[in-house]
Each structure stands twice: as C-alpha cells, then as structure tokens.
Structure 1
Amino acid sequence: MNTVLALLLSAAVINVVVSQEDPTESLAGVYDLTPADFDKVVNGGKHALVEFYAPWCGHCKHLTPEYKKLGEAVAKDPKLKNSVVVAKVNADDHKEIGEKFGVRGFPTIKFFGRGKPTTSPEDYQGGRTSEAFLGYLHEKVAADKGFARIGSLDTLARDFLAAADKTGAAAALKTAAEKLDEASRAAGMLYSKFAEKAATKGGEFFKTETARLERLLESGKVGANKAAEISQKLSVLTAFSPDDEEEDEATKEKLSAAEE
C-alpha cells in the first residue's frame, strides 16, 4: 500500500514539474524582448502576440509549456512565420514596458495588429493553450490577408495573369487605378506598378518580389512606417497569386480544425 502511495505521489510531483517551466527560458520561435529591441520587433509590420510575465508567477510557469508549443508551431508554418511574431517580456525586470501597455497582472497577453498603432494593442481574452493561440492567430491572419486589396482591381489582376498581351493588361490596370478615389489610389497604383514590372520581367517577378519584401520584414531592420508600407505591398501582391483561392481554402480548414 505504501509503495502504491509513493508511486502516486511521485507521479504527481513529476506532473507538476513537467507542467511548470521557467518563463525566462529561451523558446524556439519566441522572441525575448527588452526595452532595447521591443519597438524593432513589434513594429506594425507583422501581427504580434506578446506575453508579459514575471518569473515568480505560477500562472506564467504553467503557461510556458503551451507558449513553447506555440513558438514551435509558428516556426514550422511558413505562412504564420511570415505574418506573425510571437514574443514574451519579463515585465518584472522591465517594468517600464509593462507600464507602457497597462499591464496590471501576470501573465498578460496582448495582440498588436499589423499596420495598426503599437500604442493600442488588443487584450487577448482567449484560451491559454497552444491550440487556442494558433486558432486565434490563423483567424487574425486570414481576416487581414487582403487588407490593401481592391475588389475591382483583383479582377483585373487575374485577367493580367491570364492575358497573352501583358503590356495591354498592365495598361488596363493603370487606367482603373487612376480612376480610384484618393483613399484607395495609393494601393491601386501598387497593382499598376507590379503589373508593369511583371510585364517586363516575367511572371516570376511576383514570387521574387514577395520573397524580397518578406526578407526585409524578417530582418527587423525597418522602422514601423517602412514595415507598414512593406505589408501593404505584400497584401497587394497576393492578388497576383494564382494559388490565392487555394490558400484561402487551406486557411479555412485550419480554422475549422482549431475550432473543433
């Protein structure tokens, strides 16, 4: 009887140890931010999910294994990796960051939307599991994917991809873009610019330009304004992807799986 009890107690202790980890531990796919680099990483160029923790906080210790799974999952998913930053901040050591964003308890998790002011993040109110975090991020990325897209020009972009006369199709895009109202014209002219370059350089331009811009974002060397500009360009470039509809279906399937 004593042996059985000892084994049960041992198993309970092991379970507690496994389910609680040091929040200060470096996690794959998760940035450890300080005042020196916070604004460089959370700059509006990508969506950012940030945990504000204290090393002594029990709830933070329980969250660490799930955050670890989240970082690994994002690192393995090319689409999420190119669209999302997962990070954590020791807000006990760096109180100024916590105070800046109104952190009152631990852990506090905030979402910084791509292209939105980093001074006004959303409070994350969802579940504290890696699956819940992933579902939330997939939803945000899916909703935001075409933020700079314009329906009428999307149609002309598809026409461009199918056209034998690329120069003429690019000219049609430019004419349509010039007729847009002032609020939409900047994004519209990106359609025209990309079509003209593809007409000259060939269809591979869209892939190479997308890769170039994604590398710039991932470098962390661009400021908030430049990051937002790059994100707008990447959004418009998705209109020229022949796999766009297939990607949307794949995203829907991931969201459905996360909800289940």
Structure 2
Amino acid sequence: MRCILYLLLWAAVGILVSCEDDPTESLAGVHDLTQADFDKVVTGGKHALVEFYAPWCGHCKHLTPEYKKLGEAVAKDPKLKNSVVIAKVNADDHREIGERFGVRGFPTIKYFGRGKPTSAPEDYNGGRTAEAFLAYLQEKVAADKGFARIGSLDTLARDFLAAADKTGAAAAFKAAAEKLDEAQRAAGLLYGKFAEKAVAKGGDFFKTETARLERLLDSGKVGANKAAEISQKLSVLSAFSPDDEEEDEATKEQLSKAEE
C-alpha cells in the first residue's frame, strides 16, 4: 500500500511539472499567435519578441517558466507594456509561420523592431532567462527613445536652449515644421508647441512636463492610443534635455558592452 501511495504521489508531481512546463500553456502577458492574427499583433508599431516552439521540444518546455516570468514582468511594467509585445507561436501546428521566418529549430526566438519591416526580424541569441530577455528589451527601448525626433529640429532645440531671445528662437520651429513631409509633421509641430510653452512657463517646463507625462505612462491607466501619444511627446521632449547628449553616449556605451 505504501508503495502504491508513493507511486501516486510521484505521478501527481510529474503531472504538475508537465503542466508547468507545457509551452502551449496560456501565459499572462504573452500572446499566443496563429496564422490568422500574427500580422495583427506583430505590426512594427511596437517592439516584439516572439518565440517559435514545438510542443514536444524539451528545450521549449524548459524555457516555458522563464517566458512566463517575462510575460508577467512586462505586464507589470507600464512603460514596457505600452511599447513591447511578448508572443509565442506553435510553429509545429502553424508551420507556414515558421517557414515564413526561416525557423529551422526549436525554440527559435526573434526580435521584431519597432518601426522596422516585420519581414526582416533579428535572431535573438542572448540568454534564455527572464532577466536576460528583459535586459535585451530594455536596451532596445532605451536605444529607441528618440523615435519621434527629427534631426533638423533637434538642432533648433539646442539653439533654443542656448538662445537669449527664447521667443525668437521658438518662432523658428514653425517655419521648419512646415517644410516637413506629412509623416513627420505631427512630431515637428510638437517641437514648436513645447518651445512656446517653455517661453510662457519658464525653463523648468521641459523637466516638469516630462515628469508629468512619465507619471501618466507609469500609472498604467492610459489606453494604447494615449500611451503612444505620450511616448511621442516624451521622445520630442528629450530633444530639449541639456543632458541629452550625455544620455545618448551612456546608452551607446551600454549597448556596446552588451554586444561584446
């Protein structure tokens, strides 16, 4: 009888471990993608990390707890939640997706960059832990902080910060924004809008407005469209930071170390 009880206990433990390591399991913060919805979720509008797995793959099963932790961590971080997609695809059932992205083994993990064609993702070759995934994504998001910025208007932003006549310097943004194409005009107009507010409210405006928008984003209470709008504003505001160049160098150094 005792032997039977031990066998039943170990069988129960085995079932729990098997369920815990099942790559087909629905995970919080992780999208389960199919051929029907892949292009609706991975659009290039956000950074995306996608695991291509097979249910029978031992390494995929081993990865499941870490991917679960990753999904939960991203879901709890408002900034990452609004800028990053974590997803997985059963590439054994949906082989056409695996073939589309050149998947030759399991698990294969690919990174789809924000604003880049989804047809050419990067292979992820880093560590297979939740911490390694998070560090990788945080670096990608940090490097992309200037996504809404425009080089010619960045120059005007530096001139504005150094100008004695702030009113005159602010007026230069309007003429510059009018020369932009339609895709850049919305961001271009933000430069002038922020410069005019700084003239009216004083030099601390950039710092206080950045802090206000970051609090809104961190709250997790804004919808996806509003979060995208806030992210664009924060990106443009970063052009008016006197520490911007130092921050860019620090980011470059961090990325350089990560690549070594």
TM-score by length of 1: 0.68
Contact kept, 8 Å, 2:160 with 2:169, in 1: the verdict is: yes
1:122 matched to which residue of 2? 122
Give the secondary structure class of the aligned counterpart of 1:32. Answer: strand
Matches within 5 A, 1:207-226: 215-216=224-225
Deviations 1:159-191 (A, max 9, x none): 87999x997554221234567xxxx76676444
Distance in structure 1 (CA, Å) of the matches to 2:167 and 2:182: 21
1:68 matched to which residue of 2? 68
Distance in structure 1 (CA, Å) of the matches to 2:33 and 2:169: 46
2:53 matched to which residue of 1? 53
Deviations 1:222-248 (A, max 9, x none): xxxxx9xx7994574343787996xx6
Give the secondary structure class of the aligned counterpart of 1:141. Answer: helix
Unpaired segments ≥5 residues, structure 2: 1-5
Unpaired segments ≥5 residues, structure 1: 1-5, 219-226
Displacement after TM superposition at 1:37 (Å): 1.0
Contact kept, 8 Å, 1:153 with 1:191, in 2: the verdict is: no
Distance in structure 2 (CA, Å) of the matches to 1:162 and 1:78: 34
Identity %: 66
1:39 matched to which residue of 2? 39
1:132 matched to which residue of 2? 132
Change beyond 3 A, Cα 1:142–1:56: same
Deviations 1:86-118 (A, max 9, x none): 100011111111110011111100000111110
2:143 matched to which residue of 1? 143
Deviations 1:129-188 (A, max 9, x none): 00110111111111121134245634644787999x997554221234567xxxx76676
2:190 matched to which residue of 1? 194
Indicate the RMSD between aligned Cα atoms, in angstroms: 4.5
2:110 matched to which residue of 1? 110
Contact kept, 8 Å, 1:23 with 1:60, in 2: the verdict is: yes
Give the secondary structure class of the aligned counterpart of 2:48. Answer: strand
Give the number of equivalent residue pairs: 233
Contact kept, 8 Å, 1:190 with 1:236, in 2: the verdict is: no
1:87 matched to which residue of 2? 87
Change beyond 3 A, Cα 1:67–1:234: farther
TM-score by length of 2: 0.68
2:236 matched to which residue of 1? 237
Give the structure, 1 or 2, with the largest relative contact order (CA under 8 Å, sep 6 or more). Answer: 1
Contact kept, 8 Å, 1:91 with 1:98, in 2: the verdict is: yes
Change beyond 3 A, Cα 1:161–1:89: farther
Give the secondary structure class of the aligned counterpart of 2:36. Answer: coil
Distance in structure 2 (CA, Å) of the matches to 1:139 and 1:177: 30
Give the secondary structure class of the aligned counterpart of 2:171. Answer: helix
Equivalent residue letter for 2:56: W
Equivalent residue letter for 2:189: K
Equivalent residue letter for 2:77: D
Distance in structure 2 (CA, Å) of the matches to 1:93 and 1:100: 14
Equivalent residue letter for 2:143: A
Distance in structure 2 (CA, Å) of the matches to 1:241 and 1:29: 34
Contact kept, 8 Å, 1:111 with 1:123, in 2: the verdict is: yes
Contact kept, 8 Å, 2:46 with 2:84, in 1: the verdict is: yes
